[in-house]
Homo-oligomer: A and B are copies of this chain.
Amino acid sequence: MRELTNEYLEEAIEDSKPFASDGNVNMSLPTFDETMKDMLGVSIITPEKECYSAGDHKQYIPMQSTSKIIGLMLALQDFGKDRVFQAVGMEPMGDFFNSISSLEYHDTSKPFNPMINAGAIAVSALIKGQSPENRFKRYMDFLKDITDNDDLQISEEVYEAEKANGARNRALAYFMQSTGTLVTDVEEALDLYFRMNSVMMCCDDFARVGLFLARGGRSPREDEPLIPPHHLRTVKAIMMTSGMYNSSGHYAVEAGFPMKSGVSGSIIGAIPGRMGIGVIGPAIDKKGNSTAGGALVKKLSLDLGLNMFGVDRIG
């Protein structure tokens, strides 16, 4: 077992970097290019607010699918578990995150879970607000609160690209409208979804989201309860079974703690009671996960004893 220090993290970064060559940078994201392929950064924050980091941890990238867990938390807060899971399931799915067949064949009334695109769009449509602007503002306020970072902002460039390349997500949303799953305005629901994906964050911010989940929902600013712990249990359980696209089973075995990834190469990890982890590594594999980032979280799990299925803590 290793001790968690900045030096250890630097070493872990060096060990994991070579895996970047197994992946490719997602060129459909504006400002993403080949020069980012070897980037790798990590931040870890403990409940005691100790912060460790290494590598390119100051690099800002769009949230992409990591936004799905923020949307889910807000929807749970707004409507409670029963209502949210009327609109979306909580079962893992063996298919790609943008599968449309899974909607048609299995249960046309709802997407498998909130971690796939269709599910996240259905969940986003639940977030309360008088107007699209207001709904996105609530999202941003919540995100600023839990990251303790008032400077977070959307990348207009990423948002425009999301809209321009949104055909597959439009197909998913209109399909859900056709089955009655999505009852609000489709283009409005998509617009919020695209905005959520376009917020720029760095490893420290991702790690703070992880810590918020790991600590049971207390505001980092005033240490007051912001969201009931049982909602966060729900989010973490779904991250464990479905957070890493259709490699979620692999990461449950090889890392063993709740994580959520995005095609920008971002990963948020939440080890209950112990720490939040934020990783960026823009080279992703075919399933959408950061290759170097994935290698890194597996190494952290092993070296720091983070695997929840282990019994290392037994006397």
Contacts and interface: CB of A to CB of B under 8 A. Distances in A.
Contacts of A173: 171
Interface in A263-306: 272-273
Contacts of A137: none
Given A241-B249, A309-B233, A104 B94 contact: no
B247 A91 contact: yes
Interface string A5-37: 000000000000000000000000000000000
A1 interface: no
B273 A252 contact: no
Interface residues of A, number: 60
Contacts of A310: 216, 229, 233, 272
| Interface residues of A, dominant DSSP | helix
A241 to B, nearest CB: 5
Contacts of A170: 170-171, 174, 177-178
Contacts of A168: 174-175, 178
B233 A241 contact: no
A252 B229 contact: no
Contacts of A89: 249
Given A92-B93, A168-B178, A232-B309, 6 more contacts: A92-B241, A92-B249, A167-B174, A167-B177, A214-B311, A241-B241
27 contacts: A90-B249, A91-B94, A91-B250, A92-B242, A92-B248, A94-B112, A95-B106, A101-B104, A113-B249, A167-B174, A168-B174, A170-B171, A170-B178, A171-B174, A171-B177, A216-B314, A233-B256, A233-B309, A233-B310, A234-B309, A236-B309, A240-B240, A241-B241, A241-B248, A272-B308, A272-B311, A308-B308
